[in-house]
Chains A and B, each alone.
Chain A
């Protein structure tokens, strides 16, 4: 699983909040459990704790720093466990956003491309404030859809099935009602028009648009200009508490897709043994239950049958 997006869009913040939400789930609900390696667990919990300190920052003033920027390519190790038994290994790759702009021959860029080729799920993190409030130039600078498109097209045309998640962060201000939410969606579809058109013609890719509240208490207020530089300014709202919303959803979609692909790609012998011991039915039932935790309110692009889980 690969996170992509330029620097500063909130990839690491999203990963920390996603993991926190899903690690709280009890295994008994569906039988599936996401288990991080001890070091990954510590790293992500530590990052989450740092994010919660947002509530100690003064209100109505631009928010201060919470997490460090990523400098390279970080692998986060997880296991998906079913009824106490390891079902599959999962690696989440978080990157320094600058890598996507690096040139061929750059070691980090080459490593990133290798990992991207292996990825089944790709999470493109998008800065919602730049999408809605920025002009074309600022939005392109912050989210760089053309570069992402250039990187993803050759990867997504290989025969493997892929799930592409467009996760919009920093969009608390537009998730208040249906009108503003539609405004956010339209801004996304305008900026990513070429990629969405292209998705209509490929059979092996499904994309889901998921706007999330990673902090819940911080909102975009204005754009400040410093010379030729423009900066998005966010402030902490006094009446809101730290409360991520929908951050479990990208991970739910990603895990359900990975499990579905894993189940479909089992060897014939393995399928036979599982049929013999009735394991296949139990697994499919649990997967259906797990997949039901996905919200159906998100917009889907491409081949939607790829994310359908049936009993």
Chain B
């Protein structure tokens, strides 16, 4: 599996400890993280406690930083109720590594369901290493190895346009999103976010869209039939309906 080492600026791990009461929280916050508050908000809105068998990850580009979050990583630890503890790993880099980070997200979208647990395990290993050293606020990892694209997306599918989009997370839209990430070009230092998640409602997708200039969200929610433009705003459907009614009257 081809990987590339990238210099890490900061990292955080959301997990739980074993004993009763030591419930899920950010147990590790280490290094220099400028995008943590924003990515935490995205995590709370669109990734925490979300069901659905799809890659659960987020990328945020803002200012001179790029953040990468991957959640729902099964750890080797069990809690007091004998349940598998799941980790969420957040990593922050300089934007000079934008291409590598976006490619890593694309790899996770393009890989098969059989291969995905191998990547999950690698990220869980980083998360557990950080958790084992959670007493220190110093970053114990200097670099992270991220996977490189070794499988091309399907170029016959319609490309995504740079705007605010929510897409139903089927294979086709995962492929289109991967292609978009591989060829992503940032415009005017804008804030961009990409989220791949399970059953997250359109209303929540809209909340994410309001936080950035451009975004692509993959969701399994039944609210999203295939593709929804989020730029129109929360009440646009209602407005459209009124306009349509007044036109027909």
Contact = CB atoms under 8 A, between A and B. Distances in A.
Q: Do A and B bind each other?
A: yes
Interface of A: 6-8, 38-39, 42-43, 46-47, 62-72, 74, 96-99, 101, 107, 141-142, 229, 231
Given A63-B82, A72-B49, A42 B24 contact: no
A71 B14 contact: yes
Contact of B82 (A43, A47, A64, A74): A64
B201 interface: yes
B79 A71 contact: no
A139 to B, nearest CB: 11
Contact of B16 (A46, A66, A69): A69
**Band of interface residues on B:** 20 to 34
A63 B80 CA distance: 12
A111 to B, nearest CB: 10
Given A7-B20, A72-B48, A141-B20, A98 B25 contact: yes
Interface in B207-230: 221-223
Helix, strand, loop or mixed for chain B's interface?
loop
Given A72-B44, A72-B48, A8 B84 contact: no
Given A6-B20, A38-B222, A141-B20, A68 B82 contact: no
A289 B14 CA distance: 47
B114 interface: no
Contacts of B223: 39
Contacts of A71: 14, 16, 23-24, 48-49, 86
A74 B81 CA distance: 20
A97 B83 CA distance: 14
Nearest to B23: A98
A42 B219 CA distance: 14
Contacts of B44: 72, 107
> Most A CB atoms within 10 A — which of B23, B25, B84, B85?
B23
A7 B199 contact: no
Contact of B81 (A46, A69, A99, A141): A69
Contacts of A229: 19, 80
Contacts of A43: 51, 199
Contacts of A64: 82
A42 B223 CA distance: 13
A305 to B, nearest CB: 37
Contacts of B84: 65, 68
Contacts of B86: 68-69, 71
B56 to A, nearest CB: 12
Contacts of A96: 23-24
Given A43-B199, A72-B24, A141-B20, 12 more contacts: A8-B79, A8-B80, A39-B221, A42-B51, A65-B84, A69-B24, A69-B85, A71-B23, A72-B44, A97-B23, A98-B21, A231-B80
Contacts of A42: 51-52, 199, 222
Interface in B6-37: 14, 16, 19-25
Contacts of B82: 62-65
B23 A74 contact: no
A7 B51 contact: no
B78 interface: yes
The 9 closest A-B pairs by CB, nearest first: A98-B23, A8-B81, A71-B24, A38-B222, A39-B199, A65-B83, A43-B51, A72-B48, A74-B49
A67 to B, nearest CB: 7
A265 to B, nearest CB: 27
